[in-house]
Amino acid sequence: MIGNWFRTGLLMAAIMALFGAVGAVLGGGQGMLLALAFGLVTNLWAYWFSDTMVLRLYRAQEVDQASAPLLYNTVRDLARSAGLPMPRVYLIDEEQPNAFATGRSPQHAAVAATTGILRLLSPRELAGVLAHELSHVKHRDILTSTITASIAGAIATLAQFGMFFGGRDDDNRNPVLALLVLIIAPIAAMLIQLAISRGREYGADHGGAELSGDPQALADALAKIDRYAKGLPLPPAEAHPATAQMMIVNPLHGGGIAGLFSTHPPVEERIRRLRAMAR
C-alpha cells in the first residue's frame, strides 16, 4: 500500500515537472499560469458536480434498505468498519456487472452498482467490490484524479496555445524543441495521468481487501466481472467514455495499443496481487 502511494507521489511530481518544462518552453511564466488557471477552473467545476452528472448519465436510482437490502446493508456495514459516513447508494439498471464510487469527499460520497453485478456475485464477492469502492472514497482518489486532470489539461492547453499563437515571443527559443514539446508533451501528460489512475486501482484493491478481510473474494469477483463485461455492453459508458475510468473494471473494450491508454491495470495482475495477499 505504501508502495502504491509512493509511486503515485512520484507520478504527480513528474506531471508537475512536465508542466513546468512545457510552460518554460512554450508559454513562459504568464502562459503557464493562464493554462493552469483554465485547467483548474474546468476540473474544479467537474469535481464539484461530477457525482450528480455521472449518476444522471447512468440513470441511477437511489435505493434504501427496503428497496435493495443486500446492497444497502453491505455498504452500511463496510462504511461503518472503515469509519466513513454512510454514502448514498444507487442502483443502475444495466446487465453489465460493474460498480463505481463518486463524490467530492467522504461526506458527499455515493456508491452505485448495476443490477447485473447483484445477479452475478455472491454476497462475499459483492462485499469485496463495495469495499474496493469505499477504499476510493476513504483515500480521496477523486481529489487525486482531479489534480492530475487539471495539470494534464493545462499542459494540453499550453500546447494548443503554442500551436495556434506561436507560444512566447522569444528569439532564443529553439523551434525544433518547441515543436517536439507541442507533439510529445500532451501525450506524456496523458500517459502519466493514466499511470496514476492505474496505481489508484491497485491501491483500492489492496484497501478493499483489507476492509472486507477477504482478498480472495475480491479476486473472484474481478474475474467474474471481467469475463461477463467483455460480452455485455454498458451503453452509458460507450456514450460517455470519459466516465469509464470510474468503474471497478473497464467497461469499454480494446486490445493491443489501446491497452497503453487504459485507465485500469490488467485484471490478471490485479487478481494475482489479491491472491498473493490471501496467501
Residues 6+ positions from 248 with CB-CB distance below 8 Å:
98, 99, 100, 129, 132, 133, 222, 225
How many domains is the chain partitioned into structurally? 1
Over residues 139-166, mean pLDDT: 65
Residue 269 has pLDDT above 90, yes or no: yes
- Ranking 33-47, 80-94, 128-142 by mean pLDDT, the lowest is 33-47
Residues spanned by the domain of 103: 2-278
Q: How confident is the model at residue 18 (pLDDT cuts 50, 70, 90)?
A: low
Rounded to whole angstroms, the Cα distance separating 268 from 92 reads 26
Rounded to whole angstroms, the Cα distance separating 100 from 112 reads 5
pLDDT for res 257: 46
What is the distance, to the nearest Å, from the Cα of residue 133 to the centroid of all Cα atoms in its chain?
Answer: 11
Q: What cell does 221 get?
A: 469477483
- What is the pTM assigned to this prediction? 0.75
Question: Could you list the active site residues?
Answer: 133
Q: What cell does 143 get?
A: 481529489
Greatest mean pLDDT among 69-73, 171-175, 184-188 = 69-73
Residues 6+ positions from 136 with CB-CB distance below 8 Å:
101, 142, 200, 204
Measuring CA to CA, which residue among 132, 147, 145, 143 is closest to residue 220? 132
Handedness of CA 24, 45, 90, 119 (dihedral sign): negative
- Ranking 219-223, 261-265, 274-278 by mean pLDDT, the lowest is 261-265
Report the run of H or E that residue 110 belongs to, with start and end.
Answer: strand 110-114
